[in-house]
A = this chain, B = another copy of it.
Amino acid sequence: MSAASRPEGQGRRAGFAAVVTLTFDVDAETPVLARGRRYAAHASTMSHQAYGPEVGLPRILELLDEMSVPATFFVPGWVAEHRPWLAPSIAERGHEVAHHSYSHRPPTSMTAEEERADFERALAVFDRQGIEIRGHRAALWEASWQTGGLVAEYGLRYDSSLMGDDRPYKVRTPAGEIVELPVHWSLDDWEQYAFLPAPHVGSVIESPVKVLELWRAELDGMRHYGGLFNLCLHPFLSGRPGRALALRRFLEYARGCADVSFARCRDVAESARTDAGSAVRDLHPPEASPDVYPD
């Protein structure tokens, strides 16, 4: 759909119940280092980030086993390389491992060449570890207009960084069509739970009670309208005990809804790829001329 054409109705869609893709961005130290290499000297902050792969991740994997729920883990190449046991421990349980950049530096902060090099470097890590990659999520959900083309060019099937819909859609790129599994800030645990003094992140910290309420409200919205509940969690945040318990309660709620199903991102992407009813969008920046927007 181009901007010039009129969109279809977005009301209740019969037969399109909510699908939950439970996703975990296993960022470890990378989002902090991407804010400044100097933060490597902050021992407390680094331990806060290391908690993710070392404590939160195994706890989450056990919870998923217990609940028999499939999930997708977006892993920066740097994290997979420095903790070589990590990606296999996910894959061997039947979950999906997906591409989440190498360094977690956002594409919007890099040149096209830098983004490509970072993209390739992560793929090489996963290739050496025998991990098959089908999808990608941009660091900080900050894709460039080139990102989708890289996803297609390197043979991946889907991206999960854009927010142009709340259902899977197709994106045309110079290297072919891919599927987009859209994300949204309201389904990200970062805005609810993250706090760090340096680099400065967050303000008040929300209670798991509020976050559970939020997720239920959003899932009920997806059930009403039919959409993709693409939840993004970070093991260093949601892997903590009170939050893991809230996640368990959310999973219990979702499993009790007859119109909700769970899937890995790659499986949802595969369905969307062959669904003639999915919207198709082009990737191009809006026109922003200097006479209208001088700064």
Report the bound CA distance from A295 to B19 in whole Å. Answer: 40
Q: State whether B203 touches A209 (Cβ < 8 A).
A: no
Q: State whether A166 touches B240 (Cβ < 8 A).
A: yes
Asked if A41 CB lies within 8 Å of chain B CBs, one says yes
Of A250-258, A270-278, A285-293, the segment with at least 4 beta carbons within 8 Å of chain B is: A285-293
Q: State whether A163 touches B51 (Cβ < 8 A).
A: yes
Q: State whether A202 touches B209 (Cβ < 8 A).
A: no
Contacts of A15 in B (CB 8 A): none
Within 8 A of B (CB), among A142-178: 142-145, 147-148, 161-166
With known contacts A33-B293, A147-B43, A244–B217 Cβ distance under 8 A: no
Among B51, B286, B293, contact of A82 (Cβ-Cβ < 8 Å): B286
Asked if A241 CB lies within 8 Å of chain B CBs, one says yes
Q: Specify how many copies of this chain sit in the oligomer.
A: 4
Report the count of interface residues on A (CB-CB < 8 A): 110
Among B6, B33, B89, B241, contact of A221 (Cβ-Cβ < 8 Å): B241
Asked if A130 CB lies within 8 Å of chain B CBs, one says no
Within 8 A of B (CB), among A223-250: 224-225, 227, 239-246
Contacts of A210 in B (CB 8 A): 207, 210
**Can you offer 25 A-B residue contacts whose CB atoms are under 8 A?**
A7-B53, A7-B54, A7-B55, A9-B62, A11-B66, A40-B288, A43-B144, A43-B145, A43-B147, A43-B283, A44-B161, A46-B286, A47-B163, A51-B164, A54-B164, A166-B240, A191-B202, A191-B204, A203-B203, A204-B204, A205-B214, A208-B214, A209-B213, A214-B242, A221-B241
Given A54-B164, A191-B203, A203-B204: 13 more A-B contacts, CB < 8 Å: A3-B82, A11-B66, A44-B141, A45-B142, A51-B165, A78-B292, A166-B241, A185-B196, A210-B210, A221-B243, A221-B245, A224-B241, A224-B245
